[in-house]
Amino acid sequence: MDWSRTKSIFIIVFSILNIFLYTLYLESYTEAENFSVLTESAVDDRLAGDKITYPDDLETEPGEESYISGTRKVFTKDDVLVEDTRVAVEDRYLLNVAFNEPIRIGDEKNKESLEAFLAANVYKGGDYVLWDVIEEENKAIFYQEINGKTLYHSDSGKVTLLWNGEGEAVRYEQTIFTDLVENAQNKDLIPPKRAIETLYGKGTLQQNSEITSVTLGYSVYVAVSDDTRMFLPTWRVSVELEDGSTADYFVNAIKDGVIEFNKPEEEGSQ
């Protein structure tokens, strides 16, 4: 038997097989790419048909982020910065402070004034960002920032500040996460456009609305223990509705899927 000839035949056969398999791979890859383009184009057409607009400069490759874990701080009266106060610690994690002498905020409707007041008078107040001012209740809500990103709608990383009719702060409530640790493994983020498509597919976005921004932050994902929570990278999609009001919607930035903030953090994952 001519082994040299047989060896050559085997090489030729395997080469042809490899070429055939590679051709199949290229065809399937091209079909998948075409399907993706068609799907995105179809969604764009439907968004346009419903007169839903979004920014032209959305990131197409947002990169990677990691899960982060944090521990709920157990407060003591020593954590109060202002001396002339009445202090109560509720359920270990909630600090409730009332000022015996109200403190002038500056401009209670101004973001910079409110955040400056927190930084000067509240434990680690510079770690919070203003979320909302409820004028009829003389109240402002702040959420903790983690790595420069807002921790959305967390009752365990929050400050509520209240003032009187003269614009003087009278009381605040505070919770905060400490000992923040990043997961060693980064995860790919879904693009902001994908978050919009997810909301649209769920019927969340209304006709004649304008998506004004898509911002990356975090949300509480799961309770690791009584004290520890894990945070998930989360897209915040801010929308101006047809009547001029605004709304925020939230999408899991790693696994996709709409996030609804309707469960206590202690219940576990959202």
Residue 9 has what pLDDT?
A: 52
pLDDT score of 149 more than 90: yes
pTM of the model as a whole? 0.81
Phi, psi of 198 (to 5 degrees): -65, -45
Provide the 10 A C-beta neighbour count for residue 254.
Answer: 20
Give residues with Cβ within 8 angstroms of 148, minimum separation 6: none
**CA-wise closest residue to 82 among 166, 162, 170:** 170
Would you say 100 and 170 are in contact if contact means Cβ atoms under 8 Å apart? no
Would you say 220 and 177 are in contact if contact means Cβ atoms under 8 Å apart? no
Give residues with Cβ within 8 angstroms of 74, minimum separation 6: 92, 93
CA-derived radius of gyration, the chain? 26
Give, in order, the Cα–Cα distances in Å from 250 to each of 195, 245, 247, 260.
8, 17, 10, 7
Residue 19 has what pLDDT?
A: 44
Phi, psi of 70 (to 5 degrees): -145, 155
Residue 34 has what pLDDT?
A: 39
Domains belonging to the chain, first-starting first, are: 8-66+184-267 (2.40.128.690), 71-180 (3.30.310.160)
pLDDT digits (tens, 9 = 90+) for 66-101: 999 999 999 999 999 999 999 999 999 999 999 999
* pLDDT band at residue 132 under the 50/70/90 scheme: very high
pLDDT digits (tens, 9 = 90+) for 18-43: 444 444 443 444 344 333 433 556 77
Strand locations in the chain (E): 64-65, 68-72, 85-90, 94-104, 128-134, 139-146, 149-150, 158-163, 168-174, 177-182, 187-188, 210-223, 228-240, 246-252, 258-259
pLDDT digits (tens, 9 = 90+) for 179-235: 999 998 899 999 999 999 999 999 999 999 999 999 999 999 889 999 999 999 999
pLDDT score of 1 more than 70: no
Instruction: Show the tokens assigned to 125.
Output: 């107040």
